[in-house]
Amino acid sequence: MSLKNKSAFIWADSKLLTKPIHVSAPYHFVFLGEILSYIENSGNTSIDVFDFESRDVEFSKYIQCLSDNKYDSIAFFVNTDNIENSLTLLKITKEISPKTKCIAYGELCVFLPDFFINTEFDAIVSDRCDCEVSILDFFNYSYNLINKEKARGVKFIENNKFNLYADGIYLPSKDWGFTNLNKSFVKSLFNIEGKDQVVIEIARGCPYNCKYCKETCFAGNIERRRPIKDVISYINHSDYEIFKFYASNFTLDELYVDKFCDELINNCKEIKWSCTTRPELLENERLIQKMSLAGCKKISVGIETIEKDELDDLKRSYNTQNIIDGINLLNKYNIEYKALIMFGVPNQTKESILATLDFLSKYKVTIRPTAYTPFYEMKPNMSAEDIYKFDKRTYYKHIDGLSYSTFLQLIYNVYNYKNILMEG
């Protein structure tokens, strides 16, 4: 493969009303940085990155590069909040360089694949496969190095329908890429976060299959985890000291976490780190103590709500006592408890939201709200504008006693919830 082969990654920016960019910053490490690393390590392809959401590049630069390089192929990360800008960039790309082949990947390709049939994309990445393999094969197809029949997990759009010639695959976890921390877009994400926090994907896949979550559709229901020594080596060779270990349920595999903490304590430089898990997976005191000793400073916990009927609808099996026990346990070992909650859960009312917020405020935990987004209700004939409404910071269908105005104020100013709910 010669360096004349030229490709690019594009992450279009979100619209004004969508989630603050610091909320999505970790995804850039996982769905851009790590995928990019895998592809760059797989050949001599020259790849440019235009991460517009990180504000690392000017639009004029993209136009100039598009005109000068005539990319063979471009991969667009597409989700609900950047769908409109992605399609705008796609249209411009095809007008300037009509021979450039473009593939979409991301949550919208998983939740609403048929939407893309009537766009100018040449292909999308299939669900239930590791997308870096599909993107690499698509790039190689664009360089005429392989036939489309060998492009794994690539759904080609031909004659207004999908043709999937080869099934996608799941990579061995040892082959996952690590974000190149010398890339300039990483520095921009640090500035947005307000700290030099490096995100490392620890696990893919989730056995819980929550209907509002993309993880199982993306990565399957069998969890896969990186080799611990590879993670430690990456940390030790970096210049940074703050890390987020990205996994849907970090403490699900207690044996892995136990060994991981041993390595952090005995063979790693001193770092501070955070992770995410579920309330019912915070019961092992010995493990939490070891996590604290290994540098864990914060655990984000997906509690969603405290109301039983709402939890039943979400098929969540924990109760308020699980949450209280988890809070007390983390407090005991000086780990911040960050409660991830959702507004708009089926059967939720203004009163039940107040009860959840009162409960969490009583225990003085950090609160991060998002909107309950029923992605499964999206339809392929929807417009991009309608799809955009399914954003996790703005989606609103109906909540008894709660106006949309009050809902938005709660999302963006949750610690002032009593005054907001009193006025709303």
pLDDT in tens, 252-293: 999 999 999 999 999 999 999 999 999 999 999 999 999 999
SS3 157: strand
Q: Which of 17-31, 302-316, 345-359, 405-419 has the lowest mean pLDDT?
A: 17-31
- Do 11 and 140 lie in one domain? The reply is yes
Give residue-wise pLDDT tens across range 151-200: 999 999 999 999 999 999 999 999 999 999 998 889 888 988 889 999 99
CATH of the domain at 271: 3.20.20.70
Computed on alpha carbons and rounded to an integer, the radius of gyration of the chain in Å comes to 22
Phi, then psi, of 161 in degrees rounded to 5? -155, 165
Q: What is the extent of the structural domain holding 77?
A: 6-164
State yes or no: pLDDT of 210 exceeds 80: no
- Do 20 and 159 lie in one domain? The reply is yes
Position 3 scores a pLDDT of 53
DSSP characters for 39-100? HHTTS--EEEEEEGGGT-S-HHHHHHHHHHH--SEEEEE--GGGHHHHHHHHHHHHHH-TT-
Q: What percent of the chain has pLDDT over 90?
A: 74
Please tell me the total count of domains within the chain.
2
Position 238 scores a pLDDT of 97
Does an H or E element contain 243, and which? strand 242-246
Classify residue 157: in a domain, yes or no: yes
Position 315 scores a pLDDT of 76
- Do 59 and 142 lie in one domain? The reply is yes
- Do 67 and 206 lie in one domain? The reply is no
Give residue-wise pLDDT tens across range 316-369: 878 889 999 999 999 999 999 999 999 998 889 999 999 999 999 999 999 999
pTM of the model: 0.94
Position 2 scores a pLDDT of 44
State yes or no: pLDDT of 18 exceeds 70: no
